[in-house]
Amino acid sequence: MKIAVTSKGNNLDSEVDPRFGRAAYIIIVDTDTLEFEALDNSVNANSFKGAGIQAGAMVGEKKAEALLTGFCGPNAFKTLNAANVKVANNVTGTVKEAVQAFKDGKVTFADEANTDGHW
């Protein structure tokens, strides 16, 4: 199963980036093999507006089934929801730890955004 984790760096030992739309990287990980692809999110991170929406569409495109991140705003949440990506907020630690927590069923999925949008 593929999941997405926001990350401050480009590998599994990097720390989870608490931001979603403007995260440095979004890592797409196969939870079975731990094979991963680090997506450089700098275009969205520096975008004028709508970063969460664009990042959400990107995660959907990669067919990730879940997203592990710190905070997810309303527009990003709406986009991820449309892409059938489940969202777990308040995730901390390294990407690897986050993936393990997900596999152990220790993350809770949100049914709404957990932060306000930024204008």
Output the six-digit token pair for 83. Answer: 């892409």
Residue 85 C-beta: closest distance to other proteins, Å: 9
Residue 23 C-beta: closest distance to other proteins, Å: 15
CA-CA distance, 67 to 113, in Å (whole number)? 13
Nearer to other proteins, 29 or 51 (CB): 51
CA-CA distance, 117 to 33, in Å (whole number)? 35
Output the six-digit token pair for 41. Answer: 């999110």
Residue 46 C-beta: closest distance to other proteins, Å: 12
Residues that bind other proteins (CB under 8 A): 47-51, 53-54, 56-57, 60-61, 75, 78-79, 82-84, 119
Nearer to other proteins, 35 or 61 (CB): 61
Output the six-digit token pair for 31. Answer: 């939870």
Sheet holding 66-68, edge to edge: 36-40, 25-30, 2-7, 66-68, 86-88
Nearer to other proteins, 38 or 85 (CB): 85
